[in-house]
Amino acid sequence: MFSKPTTEQLLAGIAEQLRTTVMAEIQTEPTKILLQQIDQILMGCSRRAAHEIAFVHEEALRVATLTGKDLGIPASLHLDDVVAWYQRVSTALSDEVEAAFASGDQARIDAARAALDARSAVEMQILGALDLVGRG
């Protein structure tokens, strides 16, 4: 396969073409709004494509350390297998959050919270800026 341009570059390039070339040809307001939404999602996909599998593995390591559980590894690096495994990681983190609050142990709650803050930071990195186009 050709690995370059990367998926990240291709998606960002498509978004740029839509923004700079296609948008000017759009006549109706609902379609303009749709195109602006597509632009934001495509840029998020671009950032996600570059790091998605690494992000998942990094979070799994944090959750395994937090819970002391062996979360295993994905069956392969194909995305379907990685996502199926990540579901187990997320469930383990959700369970740990509830167990931490049930225990009343503030240090345990704080540790779970730190894992959630790291998760949220990755989500915000993928999201970039949010523009609620079409509202109002």
Partner 1 sequence: MHNVNEMPARVATFLAKAEPSWKNVTVDSYEVMTGGYSRLLARAEVSHSLGHETLVLRGDPPKDRQLIETSRQQEYELLLVVADHGVRTPRALHFDPTGADLGTATIVLEYSKCTSFVPWFNAGGSLDGLHLRLAEAIASYQAIPLESLPACMERPASWEAYMTKRIDAWRQASHNHVESLPIFHYVAEWLDAHRPPAAPLVLRHGDFQSSNVMISAEGQFEMIDWELAGIGDPREDMGYFKAVAQAMPPDLLDDTRIEEFCARYRELTGMTELQINPATVAYFLILGVVGTVEQLMQGGAKWATGENHLFTSVFNMSSVLFGQSMWLAAASQLAEPMKQIAAAARGGK
Q: How far is the CB of 127 from partner 1 (least distance, A)?
A: 5
List the x/- string, 56-95, binding to partner 1 by CB under 8 A.
---------------------------x--xx--xx-xx-
Asked whether 87 and 63 are in contact (CB, 8 A), the reply is no
d(CA 72, CA 38): 36
The one-character DSSP state at 23 is G
Give the CA distances from residue 43 to residues 6, 19, 50, 51, in Å, rounded to whole numbers and listed in that order: 14, 11, 11, 13
Q: How far is the CB of 73 from partner 1 (least distance, A)?
A: 18
| Interface with partner 1: number of residues (CB under 8 A) | 38
Question: Omega of the bond prior to 5 within 30 degrees of 0, cis?
Answer: yes
List the x/- string, 14-53, binding to partner 1 by CB under 8 A.
--------------xxx--xx--xx-xx--x---------
Q: How far is the CB of 105 from partner 1 (least distance, A)?
A: 13
